[in-house]
């Protein structure tokens, strides 16, 4: 009987002592984690793609909660919807960011850009890029080995076997920027999706002068400046013989598309132009007449 | 038993087709394009402009930093333009294009007499300065500015000069032929380098597949105090700096360090000849011996070509492009690089043009690694190429660095020996490039 009693008392005393120690230790080493981090993480897409610039969604949630100014934080996968939910949780104002999509700025298909040599090295764009300019006369364009496709975690890209160029599947693209990082030639760019998914962009990154550029690829931007002249919104700038359309300023008037002598400017998701089939032809004719003039304009720059 | 380096190495078929062919002087082309980046380091700054007339040997681009080199006009004529030209890098890069006028008027200061000038008048400092002014770079292919190599950093001591007459690359014979024809000049060049480095010992390493060169140089060396010829066993990549030091004097250069760490400086025999010409004849570096060779080439040979000459002229001089051509390589078959165009100009680093018939020009289908470890046993730097390749492929850069990817000399022995035809060196180069960038940004 006595033994039972002693056992119970000793064990209870030990238990109480341990409880007291544990209580103080717990107080001492308490880690306070803002419950909002969990809440924010809950709303995030859990893609862990790194598109926001943080290593995973948890880190992004922590940044959302800890930073005072969250205007530079943006989850490209979740977009405005997720961002507004997350901002509501942390009670801060979120910057409006237009949804974006990856755009491949090269149209050097087998037809447009004749092959001048053959690459047999390792199947990696980065390796090919360190060795030389590529299988064609254009040393700026797509190498066609698909490193961007490998980098995509959202099944939003594939290599078109006919053209040899990567294609972005708009519905799947979350604009995380993994392909932009992967491309050693800096061909892929994130651009605003635009109203009704309509976009206009220069599908070329060739910085050679007009002559060599055109010789290497029939749809290369030759830097003639016609689009820059016709643009009423100052959206187009020419630098290093290459036109660039600022998607923030572009009002999608499509005038530049019409005047481009090499069809380097692409319009996406616009309805087919039906009323005046002659209209786009005319400028095309005039550009042909102007072609020598373009060259003439080009020459003084050579020096 | 002949000496060689202690670790790894392979022995590819030698194919020295153009051996024994006298050096032919290539006629000056109608137009040359001289790239402003022909060396390791910062590209030079052009000092001429469109329309300027230049003479042979006139400075046209000056060194733009410590590790950089002067470039001199290889022809006389007018500067046509400075434009981007496709060069051996596979990219269009700035080059000075000169239209040749046909007079071939040389700069007055250059001594064009063929007499051998033995007496060295300049002091060591003056020699180094002269070598720098003449734009001399390592002519073995690495194109490292020679005056930098000759400037021994404070606290370091050099006790031996090693001349590289190994020419371990198959097919190439330019150094071999240069030793046969300009042996005496190379000896004086060696003396000049010894004076600049303040050493009294010089070893010329020559592989045993050139017995005539060994005999010839040995005979000449009798008259020059301190110079000895070291015959070496044929083993690729013996021409690598660190391998050659190991083979000749048995010292191992520690990982990540320069040869000066073990008291040695290595110069190619071609470079030595250029040093002789610069110091004794005041002639800057604007021409070099280039081997044009290949199994189906009509008349393979060694040509003295001006820098900037299109490769096409060399090929024409060797009997034209064979019909079965599959690939044109700038340099040797092991470390050379396929060229995308025959308009690519000859540069200071062009040791050869190798024309491969189509049946030999293609890579075989890569198979999975069978863990035979052949690549490990042939690696002259003691690395594990199979592992480095996998790590680079997967982008595990920290491990790649730990496995000492930066020690790789890119000799290609691993890819050469791989029974599965795996592109080992391609990926190791990728790893080396990326890790190099990481290290540089970390040290900033």
pLDDT tens column, B376-395: 999 999 999 999 999 999 99
pLDDT of residue B258 exceeding 80:
yes
pLDDT computed for residue A273 by the predictor = 76
Average pLDDT over all residues of chain A: 86
pLDDT computed for residue A294 by the predictor = 39
pLDDT tens column, A25-44: 999 998 888 889 999 999 99
pLDDT of residue B46 exceeding 70:
yes
pLDDT tens column, B272-316: 999 999 999 999 999 999 999 999 999 999 999 999 999 999 999
Question: Is the CB of A121 less than 8 angstroms away from the CB of B92?
Answer: no
CA distances from B8 to A3, A91, B65, B234, B238 (A): 78, 65, 37, 13, 10
pLDDT of residue A52 exceeding 90:
no
CA distances from B284 to A152, A291, B112, B132, B279 (A): 53, 45, 12, 10, 9
β-partners of residue B303 are B24, B290
pLDDT of residue B2 exceeding 50:
yes
pLDDT computed for residue B48 by the predictor = 94
pLDDT of residue A296 exceeding 80:
no
Q: Pick from B351, B374, B213, B193: which is nearest to B272 by CA?
A: B193
pLDDT of residue B152 exceeding 60:
yes
Q: How confident is the model at residue A79 (pLDDT cuts 50, 70, 90)?
A: confident
Question: Is the CB of B363 less than 8 angstroms away from the CB of A130?
Answer: no
Q: What angle do CA B70, B39, A137 make, to 5 degrees?
A: 115
For chain B, the straight-line distance linking the first and the last C-alpha, in angstroms and rounded, comes to: 48
Write the class of the CATH domain B1-15+107-362: alpha beta
> Which chain B residues are Cβ-neighbours of A131 within 8 angstroms?
90, 337
pLDDT of residue B256 exceeding 70:
yes
For residues B324 and B296, give the distance between their C-alpha atoms in angstroms, rounded to a whole number.
8
pLDDT tens column, A151-208: 998 999 999 999 999 999 999 998 888 999 999 999 999 999 888 889 999 999 999 9
Query: Which of A122, A133, A303 has its CB closest to that of B90?
Result: A133
* Nearest-CA distance B48 → chain A (Å): 13
pLDDT of residue A289 exceeding 60:
no
Question: Is the CB of B91 less than 8 angstroms away from the CB of A124?
Answer: no
pLDDT computed for residue A279 by the predictor = 46
pLDDT computed for residue B62 by the predictor = 93
Interface mutation target, options B426, B432, B433, B435, chain A, most CBs of A under 10 Å: B426
Question: Is the CB of A127 less than 8 angstroms away from the CB of B430?
Answer: yes
Q: How confident is the model at residue A299 (pLDDT cuts 50, 70, 90)?
A: very low
Residue range(s) occupied by CATH 3.40.50.11540 in chain B? 1-15+107-362
CA distances from B256 to A146, B92, B246, B401 (A): 34, 32, 16, 12
Query: Which of A120, A127, A131 has its CB closest to that of B427?
Result: A127
Query: Which of A117, A121, A126 has its CB closest to that of B423?
Result: A121
- Residues ≥6 apart with Cβ < 8 Å to B340: A116, A117, A132, A133, B86, B90
The answer to whether B15 touches B171, Cβ cutoff 8 Å, is: yes
pLDDT computed for residue A280 by the predictor = 47
Average pLDDT over all residues of chain B: 93
The answer to whether B204 touches B163, Cβ cutoff 8 Å, is: yes
Question: Is the CB of A303 less than 8 angstroms away from the CB of B81?
Answer: yes
Residues of chain A that touch chain B, judged by Cβ-Cβ distance less than 8 Å: 116-117, 120-122, 124, 126-127, 130-133, 139, 208, 212, 302-303
**Token reading at B168:** 């371990």
pLDDT computed for residue B179 by the predictor = 95
pLDDT computed for residue A275 by the predictor = 63
> Which chain B residues are Cβ-neighbours of A116 within 8 angstroms?
340-341
In B229-252, which positions are buried (b, 16+ CB within 10 angstroms) versus exposed (e)?
Answer: bbbbbbbbbbbbbbbbbbbbbeee
Q: How confident is the model at residue A298 (pLDDT cuts 50, 70, 90)?
A: very low
pLDDT tens column, B204-255: 999 999 999 999 999 999 999 999 999 999 999 999 999 999 999 999 999 9
Dihedral angle of Cα B5, B11, B17, B21, to the nearest 10 degrees: 10
Query: Which of A127, A132, A303 has its CB closest to that of B90?
Result: A132
Least confident among A79-93, B53-67, B374-388: A79-93
pLDDT computed for residue A81 by the predictor = 85
Q: What are chain A's domains?
A: 36-90 (1.10.15), 100-268 (3.30.70.20)
Cα dihedral sign for B340, B343, B345, B349? positive
> Which chain A residues are Cβ-neighbours of B86 within 8 angstroms?
133
pLDDT of residue A303 exceeding 70:
no
pLDDT of residue A143 exceeding 80:
yes
pLDDT tens column, A235-278: 999 999 999 999 999 999 999 999 999 999 999 888 887 665 55
Question: Is the CB of A302 less than 8 angstroms away from the CB of B426?
Answer: no
Query: Which of A120, A122, A131 has its CB closest to that of B427?
Result: A122
Query: Which of A121, A208, A302 has its CB closest to that of B426?
Result: A121
Provide the H-helix boundaries in chain A. Answer: 2-28, 35-43, 57-66, 79-90, 125-131, 147-151, 178-182, 210-216, 226-230, 255-259, 278-302
pLDDT of residue A69 exceeding 70:
yes
**Token reading at B179:** 């030793």
pLDDT > 90: percent of chain B: 88
pLDDT computed for residue A286 by the predictor = 41
Cα radius of gyration (chain A): 29
**Token reading at A192:** 């605003």
Size of interface A-B (CB pairs under 8 A): 48
Interface mutation target, options B81, B89, B90, B425, chain A, most CBs of A under 10 Å: B90
Question: Is the CB of B83 less than 8 angstroms away from the CB of A302?
Answer: yes
Question: Is the CB of A116 less than 8 angstroms away from the CB of B340?
Answer: yes
- Residues ≥6 apart with Cβ < 8 Å to B403: B383, B384, B387, B388, B391
Question: Is the CB of B91 less than 8 angstroms away from the CB of A130?
Answer: no
**Token reading at A186:** 């800096």
- Residues ≥6 apart with Cβ < 8 Å to B80: B31, B50, B97, B98, B99
Q: How confident is the model at residue A300 (pLDDT cuts 50, 70, 90)?
A: very low
Interface mutation target, options A114, A122, A209, A240, chain B, most CBs of B under 10 Å: A122
Q: Pick from B175, B159, B157: which is nearest to B167 by CA?
A: B175
For residues B56 and B73, give the distance between their C-alpha atoms in angstroms, rounded to a whole number.
5
Question: Is the CB of A133 less than 8 angstroms away from the CB of B429?
Answer: no
């Amino acid at each position: 009987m006595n033994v039972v009693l002693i056992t119970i008392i000793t064990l209870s005393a030990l238990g109480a002592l341990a409880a007291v120690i544990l209580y103080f230790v717990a107080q001492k080493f308490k880690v306070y984690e803002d419950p909002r981090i969990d809440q924010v993480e809950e709303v995030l897409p859990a893609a862990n793609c790194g598109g926001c610039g943080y290593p995973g969604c948890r880190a992004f949630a922590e940044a959302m909660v800890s930073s005072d100014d969250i205007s530079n934080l943006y989850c490209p996968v979740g977009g405005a919807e997720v961002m507004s939910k997350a901002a509501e949780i942390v009670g801060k104002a979120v910057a409006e960011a237009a949804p974006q999509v990856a755009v491949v700025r090269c149209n050097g298909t087998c037809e447009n850009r004749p092959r001048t040599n053959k690459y047999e090295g390792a199947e990696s764009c980065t390796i090919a890029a360190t060795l030389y300019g590529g299988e064609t006369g254009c040393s700026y364009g797509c190498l066609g080995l698909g490193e961007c496709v490998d980098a995509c975690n959202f099944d939003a890209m594939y290599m078109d076997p006919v053209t040899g160029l990567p294609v972005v599947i708009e519905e799947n693209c979350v604009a995380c920027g993994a392909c932009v990082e992967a491309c050693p030639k800096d061909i892929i760019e994130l651009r605003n999706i635009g109203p009704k998914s309509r976009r206009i962009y220069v599908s070329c990154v060739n910085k050679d002068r007009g002559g060599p550029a055109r010789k290497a690829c029939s749809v290369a931007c030759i830097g003639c400046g016609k689009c820059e002249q016709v643009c009423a919104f100052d959206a187009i700038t020419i630098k290093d013989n290459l036109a660039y359309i600022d998607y923030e300023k572009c009002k999608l008037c499509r005038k530049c598309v019409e005047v481009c002598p090499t069809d380097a400017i692409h319009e996406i998701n616009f309805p087919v132009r039906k009323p005046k089939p002659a209209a786009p032809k005319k400028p095309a004719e005039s550009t042909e007449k102007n072609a020598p003039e373009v060259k003439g304009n080009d020459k003084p720059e050579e020096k | 038993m002949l000496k060689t380096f202690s670790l790894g190495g392979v022995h590819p078929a030698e194919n020295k087709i153009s051996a024994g062919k006298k050096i032919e002087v290539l006629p000056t082309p109608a137009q040359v394009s001289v790239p402003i980046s022909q060396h390791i380091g910062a590209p030079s700054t052009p000092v001429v402009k469109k329309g300027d007339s230049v003479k042979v040997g006139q400075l046209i681009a000056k060194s733009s930093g410590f590790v950089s080199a002067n470039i001199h006009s290889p022809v006389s004529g007018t500067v046509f333009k400075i434009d981007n030209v496709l060069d051996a890098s596979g990219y269009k890069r700035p080059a000075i294009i000169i239209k040749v006028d046909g007079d071939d008027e040389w700069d007055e200061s250059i001594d064009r007499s063929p007499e051998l000038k033995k007496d060295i008048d300049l002091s060591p400092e003056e020699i180094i300065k002269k070598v720098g002014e003449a734009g001399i770079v390592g002519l073995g292919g690495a194109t490292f500015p020679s005056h930098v190599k000759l400037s021994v950093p404070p606290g370091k001591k050099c006790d031996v000069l090693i001349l590289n007459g190994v020419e371990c690359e198959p097919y190439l014979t330019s150094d071999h032929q240069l030793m046969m024809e300009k042996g005496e000049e190379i000896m004086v060049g060696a003396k000049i380098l010894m004076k600049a480095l303040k050493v009294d010992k010089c070893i010329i390493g020559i592989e045993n597949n050139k017995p005539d060169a060994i005999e010839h140089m040995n005979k000449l060396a009798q008259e020059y105090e301190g110079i000895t010829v070291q015959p070496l066993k044929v083993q690729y990549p013996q021409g690598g700096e660190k391998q050659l030091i190991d083979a000749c004097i048995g010292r191992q250069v520690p990982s990540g360090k320069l040869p000066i760490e073990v008291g040695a400086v290595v110069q190619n025999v071609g470079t030595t000849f250029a040093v002789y010409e610069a110091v004794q004849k005041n002639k800057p570096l604007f021409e070099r011996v280039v081997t044009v060779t290949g199994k189906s080439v009509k008349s393979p040979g060694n040509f003295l070509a001006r820098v900037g000459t299109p490769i096409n002229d060399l090929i024409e001089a060797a009997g034209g492009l064979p019909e079965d051509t599959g690939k044109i390589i700038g340099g040797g078959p092991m470390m050379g690089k396929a060229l995308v165009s025959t308009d690519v100009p000859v540069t200071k680093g062009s040791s050869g043009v190798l024309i491969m018939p189509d049946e030999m020009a293609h890579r075989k289908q890569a198979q999975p690694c069978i863990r035979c470890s052949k690549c490990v046993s042939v690696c002259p730097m003691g690395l594990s190429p199979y592992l480095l390749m996998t790590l680079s492929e997967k982008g595990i850069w920290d491990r790649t660095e730990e496995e000492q990817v930066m020690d790789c000399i890119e000799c290609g022995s691993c890819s050469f020996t791989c029974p599965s035809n795996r592109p080992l060196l391609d990926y190791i180069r990728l790893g080396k490039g990326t890790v190099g960038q990481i290290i540089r940004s970390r040290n900033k």
